[in-house]
Amino acid sequence: MQHFDVIIVGAGSMGMAAGYYVAKQGVRTLLIDSHDPPHTMGSHHGDTRIIRHAYGEGKQYVPLALRSQELWRQLEEASGDKLFVQTGVLTAGPHNQPFIQEVKESAERYSLPLEILSPKEVHERWSGIQLPDDFSACLEPTSGVLYPEKCISAYRQLAVASGATLLTDTRVIALEPDSDGVIVQTANEHYTAGKVLLSAGAWNPALLASLGLSVPLAPTRKTVAWFGADEELYSSDRFPAFIFNLGDSSYYGFPSFDQAGVKIGRHDGGQMIDPDHLERTFGTYLSDEGDVRSFLETYMPQAAGPLCSGRVCIYTMTPDEHFVVDRHPDYPQIVIAAGFSGHGFKFASAIGEATSQWLVEGASTLDLSMFSLSRFS
């Protein structure tokens, strides 16, 4: 039985980042993943993720977003890889939508650059967008798009270079806390550690249940699709990433990178699933293509060309769509990073750093109390 100071269970978005920041401190670190990250089985594939700073889900996220952006910049520097493109992010929706209001208030509170635009001004700047007169819109020019697979690969390479051990294609089947720490069981081996980070994405609910903790986490099937688009209007050197909050539904999307087409997804809805029995074929449900095509036909008609490709991915939702980052109430040697509710990737760098500080030093510089488990009790 091999002993480590810290074991990371699930080396995806959050886990791989945390593994790097732990290993960098000279701590003996083991990362274990069921697959070979980055991969297409969890929540981090699909080429692109939006990062925004002025935050519609709550201005309390802004310090976390700003720290994340700074850490992504540092990761680019350390790895030499291009991980972020400053496309800007356009938020739009009917007047008085709370989401847009919160974006504006976040920008004001933290003095973030934000351009408020009328539907006419939006169309003048990007003629590929048509908004009804009763919409408002705002552009955050300093935000943009991350390449998630490249981010995870960069953290992986640096974690291993910092001395971490990475076990791929190895599933953790049980965690047994004891007075010395935790025994981590895979199909063939046992490992021990003083501290464990549980960051298994859509598989967290089952592992948490085996530790006697019932957390309201709902793995949900989500799809994204790429559509043939007029490159003159929608290519990434001239068109922003976007979020449309329409009240009863919300959509997000990306300009066309390398002529791959405009990528678009619907944020709300989806089917609750067991991640081991996920229907991974895009197009199984008519809504996989239908919802996003009808959005494009309405607001970005020259981007509603032929379907180029589609992917199935997983959100792990909490009831309030805020994350769970906390210690296990009975076993404080186990730190939990879960329930990222479809908007977690942008924060993986700062969540990785903060959880590494919990694991190594016992406390983090960033306040993560809004993600505590006690809000569900």
Ligand X SMILES: Cc1cc2nc3c(=O)[nH]c(=O)nc-3n(C[C@H](O)[C@H](O)[C@H](O)COP(=O)(O)OP(=O)(O)OC[C@H]3O[C@@H](n4cnc5c(N)ncnc54)[C@H](O)[C@@H]3O)c2cc1C
Is residue 49 part of the annotated active site? The answer reads yes
Active-site annotation holder among 48, 91, 316, 355: 48
* Whether residue 216 has a cis bond before it, omega within 30° of 0: no
Site mask, ligand X, residues 303-322, x = CB under 6 A?
----------xxx-------
240-299 residues near ligand X, rule: CB under 6 A: 252, 265
Among positions 3-22, residues that touch ligand X (CB under 6 A) are 9-15
Q: Exposed, middle or buried by CB within 10 Å (0-12, 13-18, 19+), for 121?
A: middle
Q: With respect to ligand X, which residue has the nearer C-beta, 46 or 93?
A: 46
Beta bridge partners of residue 309, listed in sequence order: 226
- Under rule CB under 6 A, which residues in 337-376 are in contact with ligand X? 340, 342-346
Stretch that binds ligand X, among 28-36, 55-63, 230-238, 369-377 (CB under 6 A): 28-36
Q: Which is nearer to ligand X, 119 or 307 (CB)?
A: 307
Least Å from the CB of residue 51 to ligand X = 6
The identity of residue 178, as a single letter, is D
- CA distances to 146, 176, 211 from 107, rounded to whole Å, are 21, 45, 40
CB-side neighbour CA atoms (13 Å) of 93:
22
| Residue 42 CB, nearest approach to ligand X (Å) | 2
Extract the tokens encoding 55: 């935050």
Among 7, 29, 43, 192, binds ligand X (CB under 6 A): 43
171 binds ligand X (CB under 6 A): yes
Distances (CA, A) of 95 to 1, 106, 124, 128, 170: 60, 17, 19, 21, 49
CB nearer to ligand X: pick between 10 and 228: 10
Please state whether beta strands 218-227 and 29-32 pair in parallel, antiparallel, or not at all (unpaired): unpaired
98 membership: H or E segment, kind and range: helix 98-109
- Burial class of 321 by CB neighbour count within 10 A (0 to 12, 13 to 18, 19+): middle
To ligand X, the closest distance from the beta carbon of 178 in angstroms equals 19
Task: Give the nearest residue (CB) to ligand X.
Answer: 12
User: Shortest distance, CB of residue 81 to ligand X, whole angstroms?
Assistant: 18
Shorter beta-carbon distance to ligand X: residue 224 or 350 = 224
Candidates 6, 19, 21, 34: give the one binding ligand X (CB under 6 A). 34
Indicate the residue among 103 and 224 with the shorter CB distance to ligand X. Answer: 224
Tell me which DSSP letter residue 132 carries: -
Known catalytic membership, residue 151: no
Look up 48 and say whether it is catalytic.
Answer: yes
Quick one: tokens of 254?
């990306």
If the CB atoms of residues 132 and 200 are measured against ligand X, the closer one turns out to be 200
Q: Is 3 a catalytic residue?
A: no
E strands, 172-299, where? 172-178, 181-186, 190-198, 218-227, 241-245, 250-254, 262-266, 271-272
User: What gap in Å lies between CA 8 and CA 302, rounded to an integer?
Assistant: 45
Judged by CB, which is closer to ligand X: 32, or 182?
32
Catalytic residue among 53, 138, 151, 313: 313
Residues belonging to the chain? 377
Residue among 19, 56, 93, 201 that touches ligand X (CB under 6 A): 201
What is the Cα–Cα distance from 114 to 124, expressed in whole angstroms? 18
Which of 89-97, 109-117, 195-203, 282-290 is the region at the interface with ligand X (rule: CB under 6 A)?
Answer: 195-203
Q: Is 223 a catalytic residue?
A: no
Q: Minimum distance between the CB of residue 69 and ligand X, rounded to whole angstroms?
A: 12
Q: Is 313 a catalytic residue?
A: yes
* Least distance from ligand X to the Cβ atom of residue 358, Å: 16
User: Phi first, then psi: what are they for 40, rounded to 5°?
Assistant: -110, 15
Q: Which of 267, 322, 328, 343 is catalytic?
A: 267
Q: Is 328 a catalytic residue?
A: no
Residues 6+ apart with CB under 8 A from 5: 22, 27, 28, 29, 193, 194, 195, 360
Q: Which residues contribute to the site for ligand X (CB under 6 A)?
A: 9-15, 32-35, 37, 41-44, 46, 49-50, 171-172, 199-201, 203, 222, 224, 252, 265, 313-315, 340, 342-346
Residues labelled as active-site residues: 45, 48-49, 263, 267, 313, 346
